[in-house]
Structure 1
Amino acid sequence: MSPLSIVILALGMSVDALIASTSRGAALKRPSVVEAVRTGMVFGVVEAITPLIGWAAGVAASAYIAQVDHWIAFGLLGAVGGRMVFHALTRAAEEDAPAPNRSAWLLVATAVGTSLDAMAVGVSLAFLDVNILVIAAAIGLATMLMSTGGMLAGRLIGARFGRYAEIVGGLALIAIGATILVEHLSA
């Protein structure tokens, strides 16, 4: 696999995490740079591990992974997105900024939900003559950088648009989960 192909793959695998971290940054009340980096690291580590898991599973587990990964991603992203929309709609009208939600489980659930497609990519990479460690590291690094930047961008969006940014972010997560589900069910 060429270096350019690895970069394109890494960026492609990172887009869902970018969207999720941007919406997370918008939902939190002025997240700090440290929190943005922490979020980026969680997304990056999870995104780097999942193709390794998929690759290790290889051919033997590909049928099982393909049968459930889209449902898991849909469920996790739908639940997190739905919770964000519900929270934004049920907040008191006088609350201008979103309430902070720094739940570790929510962060990890979102990271796992956005990275399950990388596990499927890992399974397909098992059939190729590639250095999976280099590819996983590239995916993890790209995801970490994009998620950290997304969190900081969401911070600016959230400060201006608060509740609306949280609703859009939640709907985006639900849409990502639904897209993953539809793509896998129609294939």
Structure 2
Amino acid sequence: MSLIELFILAVGLSMDAFAVSICKGLSLPSLKPRHAAITGLYFGGFQALMPLIGYLLGTQFQQFITNVDHWIAFVLLVFIGVNMIRESRSEPEELNCQFSPAAMLPLAVATSIDALAVGVTFAFLSVDIVPAVSFIGVITFCLSAVGVAIGHRFGARYKSRAELAGGIVLALMGCKILLEHLGLLAF
């Protein structure tokens, strides 16, 4: 996987966290740098951790499913992408302005579940996992921190667009993996 592909994937994965960060920013009466840092650390940390866990799981089962790994990657990425697109069209959920572990941990886990599945596909694609998860974590940290500021400043109008864009990116990455494997697309 090239650096540009990894960057696009990282941005796509971080869109859920970005959208939730915007909502967290909306709920703030006043914005402080620690709000952006806490949000970035939780979301970036979990976006890095979950693909690592998925990768470790995927490497355990890789030999059993090598013949269909491209189909698994395709299905997982398209499923996640379509789900994000669907969520972008639903009613927004209310978020409170708490930044405690009890408030942030469930959000961080919820926004990074898709990254777990991507980690499984990384195992099938033989991606160098440490740089990949580090890159995903840093990109998510940055976008989440910026999302809090954007939410505080501009409001909810970007949340659904961020989820829609992220969903489209993930679905397209899944299609690209399948088309490359089938020999219909060469990069």
Cα shift readout 1:124-181 (whole Å, capped 9, x = no counterpart)? 11112210111101110000000000001111135xxxxxx49x96xx5xx88xx8xx
> How far 1:104 moved relative to its partner?
2.2
Cα shift readout 1:66-98 (whole Å, capped 9, x = no counterpart)? 7xxx8xx99xx9xxx6453xxxxxxxxxxxxxx
C-alpha distance in 2 between matches for 1:130 and 1:119 = 14
Count of residues paired in the alignment:
142
- Find the counterpart in structure 2 of residue 30 from structure 1: 30
The residue matched to 1:105 in structure 2 has which SS?
helix
C-alpha distance in 1 between matches for 2:133 and 2:119 = 9
Amino acid across the alignment from 2:130 = L
C-alpha distance in 2 between matches for 1:83 and 1:4 = 35
Cα shift readout 1:96-129 (whole Å, capped 9, x = no counterpart)? xxx7433322211111111110100000111122
Q: Which runs of 5 or more structure 1 residues have no equivalent in the other structure?
A: 85-98, 159-164
C-alpha distance in 1 between matches for 2:112 and 2:28 = 22
Cα shift readout 1:11-34 (whole Å, capped 9, x = no counterpart)? 111111110101111112213112
Whether the 8 Å contact between 1:28 and 1:102 is mirrored in structure 2 is: no
- Find the counterpart in structure 2 of residue 90 from structure 1: none
TM-score of the superposed pair, with normalisation by structure 2: 0.64
Give the counterpart of 2:134 among 130, 134, 137: 137
Whether the 8 Å contact between 1:21 and 1:154 is mirrored in structure 2 is: yes
Instruction: Report sequence identity in percent.
Output: 33
Matches within 5 A, 1:167-182: none
- Find the counterpart in structure 2 of residue 48 from structure 1: 48
Give the counterpart of 1:103 among 100, 116, 120: 100
Q: Which runs of 5 or more structure 2 residues have no equivalent in the other structure?
A: 66-71, 172-187
TM-score of the superposed pair, with normalisation by structure 1: 0.64
Whether the 8 Å contact between 2:50 and 2:116 is mirrored in structure 1 is: yes
Amino acid across the alignment from 1:111 = A
Whether the 8 Å contact between 2:24 and 2:97 is mirrored in structure 1 is: no
